[in-house]
Structure 1
Amino acid sequence: MTDTTASATPDDRPIPGGAFPLGPRPVARIGFGAMQLGELPGRALPSDEEATAVLRRAVELGVDHIDTSHFYGDDTANRRIRTALGSADDIAIATKVGAVRASDPDAPVPLVVAQKPAELRAQVEQNLRTLGRDHLDLVNLRRTDAGHGIIATGDQIVPLDDQLGEMIAMRDEGLIRSIGLSNVDAAQLRQALPAGIGEIQNAYSLVARGDEDLLALALEHGIAWVPFFPLGSAFPNAPKVAEQPAVQRVAAAVGATPAQVGLAWLLAHAPNVLLIPGTGSVDHLEQNVAAGAVELTPEQVAELDAIADGTPA
Structure 2
Amino acid sequence: MTATTFRIGGDLRVGRLGFGAMHLPTEPAADRANALAVARRAVDLGVTLIDTAYMYGWGANEALLAEALHPYPAGLLVTTKVGVARPKGDWGLDGRPEALRAQVDAALGRLRTERIGLLQLHRVDPQVPLADQIGALRDLRTEGKIGHIGLSEVSVEELAEARSVTDIASVQNRYNLLDREYEPVLAACEKAGIAFLPWRPVAWGATGARDEIAAVAAEADATPTQVALAWLLGHSPVICPIPGTASLRHLEENTASTGLRLTPDQRDRLDWLRPEG
Residue 207 of structure 1 corresponds to which residue in structure 2?
178
- Which string of whole-angstrom CA distances, capped at 9 and with x for unpartnered residues, describes residues 173-219 of structure 1? 11110000111111111222241111010011111112222111111
- Which string of whole-angstrom CA distances, capped at 9 and with x for unpartnered residues, describes residues 93-140 of structure 1? 111111023542xxxxx5221111111111111211111111111111
Cα shift at 1:54: 0.9
Number of residues paired by the alignment? 274
Q: 2:21 aligns with which of 26, 30, 34?
A: 34
Residue 238 of structure 2 corresponds to which residue in structure 1?
272
Alignment of 1:112-191 (within 5 A): 112-144=92-124, 157-191=127-161
> What is the SS of the residue equivalent to 2:176?
coil
Summarize the Cα distance change of 1:271–1:87 in structure 2 as closer, same or farther, 3 Å threshold.
same
> What is the SS of the residue equivalent to 1:184?
coil
Cα shift at 1:142: 2.3
Q: 2:224 aligns with which of 236, 239, 258?
A: 258
CA distance in 1, matches of 2:209, 2:235: 20
> In structure 1, what residue type is equivalent to 2:17?
I
CA distance in 1, matches of 2:91, 2:84: 6
> In structure 2, what residue type is equivalent to 1:206?
L
> In structure 2, what residue type is equivalent to 1:112?
G
CA distance in 2, matches of 1:167, 1:269: 30
> What is the SS of the residue equivalent to 2:227?
helix
User: Are residues 1:221 and 2:201 paired?
Assistant: no
CA distance in 2, matches of 1:102, 1:284: 35
> In structure 1, what residue type is equivalent to 2:62?
N
Q: 1:65 aligns with which of 17, 37, 49?
A: 49
CA distance in 2, matches of 1:159, 1:272: 28
Are the counterparts in 1 of residues 19 and 243 from structure 2 also a CA contact under 8 Å?
Answer: yes
CA distance in 2, matches of 1:112, 1:36: 20
> What is the SS of the residue equivalent to 2:121?
strand
Summarize the Cα distance change of 1:102–1:294 in structure 2 as closer, same or farther, 3 Å threshold.
farther
Structure holding more helix per residue: 2
> What is the SS of the residue equivalent to 2:244?
coil
Are the counterparts in 1 of residues 25 and 32 from structure 2 also a CA contact under 8 Å?
Answer: no
CA distance in 1, matches of 2:99, 2:87: 14
Summarize the Cα distance change of 1:249–1:260 in structure 2 as closer, same or farther, 3 Å threshold.
same
Percent identity between matched residues is: 38
- Structure 2, gaps ≥5 residues long: none
Between 1:192-201 and 1:296-305, the stretch displaced more is 192-201
Residue 22 of structure 1 corresponds to which residue in structure 2?
8
- Which string of whole-angstrom CA distances, capped at 9 and with x for unpartnered residues, describes residues 58-92 of structure 1? 11111111100122112221111111110435311
Cα shift at 1:48: 2.4
> In structure 1, what residue type is equivalent to 2:200?
F
Summarize the Cα distance change of 1:46–1:99 in structure 2 as closer, same or farther, 3 Å threshold.
farther
Cα shift at 1:46: 6.3
Alignment of 1:286-305 (within 5 A): 286-305=252-271
